[in-house]
Structure 1
Amino acid sequence: MVTNLLQPPMTDSHVSLLICRTMNAMKLQNFVPARNHSRINTSRFGERPLWFRPITIIKVAEHNSGSGLIELETLAQKKRELYQAVEGINRGIFGMPSAKKSEIESLVQQLESLNPTPYPTQELETVAGCWRLVYSTISILGSKRTKLGLRDFISLDEFFQTIDISKSKAVNMIKFSARGLSLLSGQLSIEASFKIASTTRVDINFENSTITPDQLMNVFRKNYDLLLNIFNPEGWLEITYVDDSMRIGRDDKSNIFVLERFDDSNNS
């Protein structure tokens, strides 16, 4: 009975055949593509050892998209840092500490070096529409501010720019308000035309300006030339950075402008 359960001894030929079959099976296994990679990367006991991961597939993915993802992450981070840096400084128009100005300009330069639109005037649709100023090196200090009455009486509110590429027109709209006197709240509008001067630069020509309502014009009439001198965009503008939500420019007066895209349906 026991004898029947025992297998006959393996001959040399049997051993050789078994070894060959085992080796062939191992070779075939090496060529079988891994399946369900997402299921073998980790387990409830933690990560698998490195040798067990589909390294080739991971490397290919990194090669194809890694640098692009890193650049997008860097852009997003720098934009966040810039928005944080300009918080609470009223666009910088009324001055700021030199350390803060250096911090902002450093971030501006970093973004300019990552500009995703290197030839903006060849893609003018990227600059079309309404933009809101978030930072500028235009300054209204000392006697300028006093003469304009901006210290105690009139405050400077939002600054918008609307660009119509079909007409090669740009309109700057500077809003003012008077504390406690809603009738004196209004805006200065400056209309200008522009033409392409290079792949990054446009030349700007002043056309006309208006202040509404008339009561606000009466406040600024005496120093209207000074007001226009501050906000008149005539000259040239270099577009140094533009994407779907932010635009940076530098003009011939060494000013820097940082603007964010704005839904002009809310701009009334």
Structure 2
Amino acid sequence: MASKLLHPQIPTSHVLPSSTPKNVKTQKPLSTNHNIHTNLRSNFAIKVAEHSSTSEDHLTITQLKTDINNTLQGMNRGIFGMPSEKKTEIEEMVKVLESLNPNPYPTIDLDKLGGCWKLIYSTITILGSKRTKLGLRDFITLGDFLQVIDVAKGKAVNMIMFNVRGLNLFSGKLIIEASFKISSKSRVDIRYNTSTIVPDQLMNMFRKNYDVLLGIFNPDGWLEITYVDETLRIGRDDKGNIFVLERSKETNP
């Protein structure tokens, strides 16, 4: 709270005489026009500073997105692990992006979250015995990870694509449906509903270890949306995982 300055009264004996001594030039009061020009210059300087800051943030965000994509080249979204120095580099860039989040309260306007997104990085990994059990070392490879968010229905559908090499090459997908509800201005609670694998041939391949597969991608819990704009979304879940997704142009994944 601003405090008022109290000026002590000046004794009458110390008041200067009303006449102005010779050789002393009186200072003209500042004109109203001068004050207006000063205020205009100040406002202009503030606006320029604000504009420069916004432009700088935009350039930083654009560069960070490019750097993340470049660093992820050949890393298969990190799903099978990656060198620790690259992991650290990516996650440092993620932190900077989060600090520049243009939509800090994303659940207030859920339309920004709706539509189809493609996973480009995650700290979820399939390593060692899990990878062997799922046959991901041999003839089954991972395709895109897509997420379709239906804001009106409060539903999210995750699709993990698989390609199977063999005499008859075919592809399929694991489909996980979940519902979500808002729990804060930046967080949603997620509840697993159902899951399936199509086609049946692929389900037969995974049936024995289906619980392992579902355990890796089960979305139950909460998700904090730490960054979202027109093309990129970052989230952190209750299990300590990070997810970076780009908006996808897929219309019928």
Q: Please say whether Structure 1 and Structure 2 have the same fold, judged by a TM-score greater than 0.5.
A: yes
Q: What's 1:97 paired with?
A: 83
Matching of residue 260 in structure 1 with residue 243 in structure 2: no
Pairing 1:66–2:30 present: no
In the other structure, the counterpart of 1:245 is 231
Query: Could you give the per-residue CA deviations for residues 141-193 of structure 1, whole angstroms, max 9, x where no partner exists?
Result: 00000000000110011000000000000000000011135564100000000
Rg larger in 1 or in 2?
1
**Which residue does the alignment assign to 2:125?**
139
Structural RMSD (CA)? 1.8
Aligned to 1:148: 134
Instruction: Pick one of 97, 105, 112 that aligns with 2:98.
Output: 112
Q: Which moved more, 1:143-152 or 1:80-89?
A: 80-89
Q: Which residue of 2 aligns with 1:5?
A: none
Q: Give the Cα–Cα distance (whole angstroms) in 2 for the partners of residues 222 and 214 of structure 1.
A: 13
Distance 2:43 2:135 in 1: 66
Note if contact 1:184-1:215 (Cα within 8 Å) is conserved in structure 2. no
1:232 and 2:218 matched: yes
Residue 28 of structure 2: aligned partner: none
CA 1:60 to 1:122, structure 2 compared with 1: closer, same or farther past 3 Å? closer
Query: Structure 2: how far apart are the matches of 1:75 and 1:247?
Result: 12
Per the alignment, residue 19 of structure 2 pairs with none
- 1:19-34 aligned at under 5 Å gives the runs none
Q: Percent identity?
A: 62
- How far off is 1:87 after superposition? 1.4
Equivalent residue for 2:205, pick from 202, 219, 228: 219
Between Structure 1 and Structure 2, the one with more helix by share is 1
Determine which of 68, 74, 86 is the counterpart of 1:88: 74
Q: 1:246, CA displacement in angstroms?
A: 0.1
SS in 1 for 2:102: coil
TM-score norm. by structure 2 comes to 0.80
Runs (4+) off by over 6 Å: 55-58
Q: Which runs of 5+ in 1 are unaligned?
A: 1-54
Which structure 2 residue ranges, 5 or more long, are not aligned? 1-40
Q: Is the 8 A contact 1:189 1:209 kept in 2?
A: yes
